[in-house]
Amino acid sequence: MAKNKKGSKPIDVSTPLPALTTIESIRDNLADIFPESFPNRSILVGPMAARVIYVFLYGGFVEGSERYLRPSHVYLFTEEQAVKTSKEERIAWLVSSRKPGFRPLGKRWYADTSREPIRDDLMRNQLLRLGIMKKRNPERHAVTSSTPINYLAADFAALFDPKLTSQEFVEKADRWRKKHLDQATLQRMALRAHGAQAKGNDILIDMPDGTRIRVSSGPSNEIVKALIEEFGKRHMDEPVVLWVSASDKKSYPQFVETAASVGLRFDLNAELPDLILADMTDPVKFFMCEVVATDGAVTEMRKQALLGLVRASRVPEECVEFLSAFEDREAVAFRKNFSQLALNTLVWFCTEPDLLVILNPESVTAAPENYFNALFYII
């Protein structure tokens, strides 16, 4: 035991300090413990949460240690103190932090104005509610008390042991969630993870086969939606979607299987176009579509790269069209990318869905920088 000011309870320094990991690793682990499907997760996976957990571990304020943290331990902590990670340095800080007026040397993490976000928004409203943090004799202390009474639950602290293998961490994190999260939260997470619950402004796309997929909101995905729903029914006889890379769900096995059934095979790790459509005529006609909200049109270089995918699949090149999709002819993205578009490729605009144009090399007599003077061939 180490003595502090007169009359205070001595600090127990005999209990071993937990192994310490980095703040970056803590934040990575938090992001895995609380995946994107977890409701209102942002404060739990942010830098403030990672720093709070780090200080709990740094001082060994863990269940069973008889050591207790107060919020000022966090907002008075400094960048310089954080890199002093030896056992002796941690114990020295632990003892000194109980002395009146003690301030670690260096640049503080937080100003005094951060007390309420740390103490109330994070510690009380999140960590305490989820069983991550506990309090010693809470009935004896006011909510705003500066007395050290907080400690980290042992099963949560165990998730940050740097000796854990990836598989051990996954298993421990899953056990922790099942033990501490209520059934309604677990069900909600499962539904969101499988795309059954909409996020704020998600976009729903009606597929040609009558099914529906959900993608995140944004200008690029608005163009994807228009391509599938409007381009397909206007310019294709029997449209089928073979690939969508704009979705939050990174892989749709049914798309890969459908593509393979018509001869198009691709590696999910390859640099695929934003959208691949097929017109199930005889022969099948493929459309490699790039969505251009800012950049990413079918340039000559991009066209050649996509042709590599076509050749690897042994799909006849004459059965493939390359298309750059823009929101509008007046859009900045179109004017910015127009001079770089590859010849013999298609151009389509969401605001003029019946219009389909091709850069016809027979009509281009001007230099590339004057392409705007060239004629479109309108299909």
Note the pLDDT tens digit of each residue in 51-90: 999 999 999 999 999 999 988 899 899 999 999 999 999 9
pLDDT band, very low/low/confident/very high, at 203 (cuts 50, 70, 90): confident
Query: For 211-251, what is each residue's pLDDT tens digit?
Result: 888 888 889 999 999 999 999 999 999 999 988 886 555 55
Answer yes or no: is pLDDT of 2 > 70: no
Residue 317 DSSP code:
G
CA count, 13 A, side-chain hemisphere, 235? 25
The pLDDT of residue 374: 39
Measured CA to CA, the distance from residue 312 to residue 302 in angstroms comes to 16
Q: How many CA atoms lie within 13 A of 307 on its CB side?
A: 11
Q: By three-state DSSP, how is residue 117 classified?
A: helix
The tokens for 311 are: 């050749």
CA-angle at 48, arms to 44 and 52, nearest 5°: 90
Rounded average pLDDT over 333-337: 93
Under 8 Å between Cβ of 192 and 58: no
Q: Please state, in angstroms and rounded to a whole number, the distance separating the CA atoms of residues 122 and 230.
A: 46
Question: Quick one: average pLDDT of 280-297?
Answer: 92
- What pLDDT sits at residue 3? 47
pLDDT band at 365 (very low <50, low <70, confident <90, very high): very low
Confidence of residue 350 (pLDDT cuts 50, 70, 90): very high
- The pLDDT score that the predictor gives to residue 371 is 39
The token pair at 76 is: 């008075």
Is the pLDDT at 7 greater than 50, yes or no?
A: no
Helix (H) / strand (E) containing 270: none
Q: Is the pTM of this model over 0.75?
A: no
Q: Is the pLDDT of residue 307 over 70?
A: yes
Q: What are the phi and psi torsion angles at 122 (to 5°)?
A: -95, -60
Q: Which SS3 state, helix, strand or coil, does residue 221 take? A: helix
**Average pLDDT rounded to a whole number, residues 150-178:** 95
Rounded Cα distance between 333 and 295, Å, is 7
One-letter amino acid of 18: P
Averaged pLDDT for residues 318-339: 93
Cβ contact 181:130 at 8 Å: yes
206: helix, strand or coil: strand
Which residues, including other chains, have CB under 8 Å from residue 233's CB and lie 6 or more apart? 208, 239
Radius of gyration of the chain (CA): 29
Calculate what percentage of the chain has a pLDDT beyond 90.
Answer: 52
For residue 349, is pLDDT > 70? yes
pLDDT of residue 142: 53
The DSSP secondary-structure symbol of 341 reads B
Q: The tokens of 68 are what?
A: 């207790």
Domains and CATH numbers, the chain: 23-193 (1.10.10.1820), 203-378 (3.40.1350.80)
Q: Centre a 10 Å sphere on the Cβ of residue 222 and count the other Cβ atoms it contains.
A: 17
